[in-house]
Structure 1
Amino acid sequence: MSALDSWTCGSHTAGDVTHPTYRKGVGPGVVIIHEVPGITPEVLAFADEVVGRGFTVVLPHLFGDSGAPASTERILRSIAQVCVSREFTKLKAGVASPVTDWLRSLARALHAELGGPGVGALGMCLTGGFALAMMVDPAVAAPVVAQPSLPAALGRTRGGDLGLSPADREAVRERVADGCPVLGIRYRTDPATGTRFDTLTSMLGDGFLKVELEGKGHATLTAHRAQVAVDRVLDFFDERLKPS
């Protein structure tokens, strides 16, 4: 039996782009975007915790395998898939990955169906910064940035880049000023995150809420999960998505 058997498989289309989705739960919507190498059992375990807290979770499948455990072979295969995909911006600074347009559409559709203050959006690692690009759309009311790693942190410029166009940066700044905070999670010494937390702190001030973990690690919510980080995400979704 696969860990995905309890999830409902579907798809979402925006323009000429279609990706599979997996859905589970009841309550306000949350879009959880997987990391390399795909929707692993660890990603599903975290997603199930969000479901258990009283949310409808949608997992888009963007690359890699669905439900399979991580392995060196799967990691390399998924990285190769991302490298040749035009949906992901790997090195160029100051631009958003094209796939974020599709993700915004998914968030809008989920919000239109479920209503409420908005939906949550959480990205991890390679997709970590996508929640920032998604919050340009007002449908996203609870953006979470977990160990953002794009563009690759090679050099000072890319290490501090958020994967946003100048217009998107200004839109994010305005949304935070209007009362929509951003939650960020990382291991403090994780080199993959570069200096992006410094950029976000400078750009958003008190509107950037940080959980910075000590020790060595990268995947804050999955392979190297820290319960304090998981609990803070769940509380953040409660605070932002469930009317008092």
Structure 2
Amino acid sequence: MPDIDPGFRDLLEDFDKREVTLLGKTRQVYVAGSGPAVIVMSEMPGISPYVARFARWVRDAGLTVYMPSLFGDDGVLPGKGKTMMTVARACISREFRAFASNASSPVTRWLRALAAVAHEECGGEGVGAIGMCFTGNFALSMMLEKAVIAPVLSQPSLPMHNSSGLAISPDELARVKARMDTEDLTVLAYRFEGDSFCKAERFAAYSEALGDRFVGKILPDSAANPDAPLKTPHSVVTLHLIDEAGQPTVEARDEILDFFRARLVSGQ
């Protein structure tokens, strides 16, 4: 049985709900915890109870989580019909370039501004960022903000319909790679071996572009929760995570939390 009821509504009452205006755009951001900041960007179809659970794990690891609402209904996992409507709206939105290879989503500029504010508010060595699925590549683009030093890409799925494409402009990619080399930074990335949304070609493209700065981790499909609402192995730290000691998905989660702490907390 799933460890979270797919019909559960998470009221997110343990988060501070803030209206944050940056670059002329206002979004709701859920904030919780203390210590250096981590930006948690939800997968499709939005901030589900599974995404909120991961955000709480970040909080409980001694970090401050900033979870912006980018699409969908916060706190729920909608049915297939509403999910497809959310995906369709995001795909035609000017903020997301869902089908564009070698192009960055404009929303990443707002997210970089959020990271700068979070670093100013929380201190520490810098800011962490994790994107999932539709937002999976955003953490890489966010490295154009100097505060972002711990990026994680979880099953990065853009651009859609081009499994070997990268959703970042060549100029920005070159600037990110130069910064990673200069500051000795790396990016962690995760996918399931048989993921049909984030295929092997995507990781190969990142590896070719970033070299050993890209640390890609591939989990066997057998590690995915078979009772998840989505049957295709995909969501490493949310829908398909099996919350039991020794499970590969839990080990991936803990590795991500350790990565954040090691990079962000002074003296680690």
Q: TM-score range by the shorter chain?
A: over 0.9
Retained in 1: the 8 A contact 2:99–2:158? Answer: yes
- Correspondence for 2:173: 169
- Correspondence for 2:47: 39
Q: Which amino acid aligns with 1:224?
A: H
- Correspondence for 1:106: 114
Q: Which amino acid aligns with 1:161?
A: G
- Correspondence for 1:23: 31
| Runs of 4 or more consecutive aligned structure 1 residues displaced over 6 Å after TM superposition | none
- Correspondence for 1:82: 90
Q: Deviations over 1:58-116 (max 9, x none)?
A: 10001101001242133112112212311000112111001000000000111112222
Q: Which amino acid aligns with 2:154?
A: A
Cα distance between partner residues in 1 of 2:111 and 2:119? 12
1:131 equivalent to 2:139? Answer yes
1:212 equivalent to 2:235? Answer no
Q: Which amino acid aligns with 1:238?
A: R
Q: With the length of structure 1 as denominator, give the TM-score of the two structures.
A: 0.94
1:200 equivalent to 2:206? Answer yes
Q: Deviations over 1:2-61 (max 9, x none)?
A: 440111101222222111110000010000000111100000111111100000001000
- Report the CA distance between 1:181 and its aligned residue: 0.6
**1:229 equivalent among 248, 252, 261:** 252
Secondary structure, counterpart of 2:29 in structure 1: strand
* Range moving further from structure 2, 30-39 or 2-11: 2-11
Cα distance between partner residues in 1 of 2:166 and 2:35? 30
Cα distance between partner residues in 2 of 1:198 and 1:139? 27
- Report the CA distance between 1:239 and its aligned residue: 1.3
Quick one: percent identity of the two aligned structures? 40
Retained in 1: the 8 A contact 2:10–2:49? Answer: no
Q: Give the unaligned 5+ runs of structure 1.
A: none
Secondary structure, counterpart of 1:192 in structure 2: coil
Retained in 2: the 8 A contact 1:65–1:74? Answer: no
Q: With the length of structure 2 as denominator, give the TM-score of the two structures.
A: 0.86
Cα distance between partner residues in 1 of 2:143 and 2:78? 29
Q: Deviations over 1:206-228 (max 9, x none)?
A: 21122210016100010012112
- Correspondence for 1:241: 264
Retained in 1: the 8 A contact 2:39–2:67? Answer: yes
Q: Which amino acid aligns with 1:230?
A: R
Aligned-pair Cα RMSD in Å: 1.4
* Range moving further from structure 2, 76-85 or 141-150: 76-85
How many pairs are equivalent?
240
